[in-house]
Structure 1
Amino acid sequence: MSETWLGLVIGCSALAIAVPLVMGHYRRERHRARQLRHLDHQDWWHGTRER
């Protein structure tokens, strides 16, 4: 019975660590995709090139 509880505790703690890491990775990927989409706009390019 104690081996079952030990496995359960280890599994739950691994999930508790993995969930925030996966969420952070997902957020970073969405932020990067949004930045790349906005980087392609022509008005941004001309706005930075004119002085």
Structure 2
Amino acid sequence: MRSGHVSDEDDPARIVRSFVDALPSGSYLATASSARPDARGRKARRAAQALSLR
């Protein structure tokens, strides 16, 4: 993983899950992306979908 950039090979869902799991119950995790939505990888989309379901 490069600083500030997460590729599909970095397993973005695992990275996001580690942040969410560290938060106290009832907390929110805010993220931002400078990538165009069509430029995001499949795993990044799945991570974003998983967050929206929580």
Q: TM-score, normalised by structure 1?
A: 0.29
Instruction: State the structure with bigger RCO (CA 8 A, min sep 6), 1 or 2.
Output: 2
Give TM-score scaled by structure 2 length.
0.28
Higher share of residues assigned helix: 1
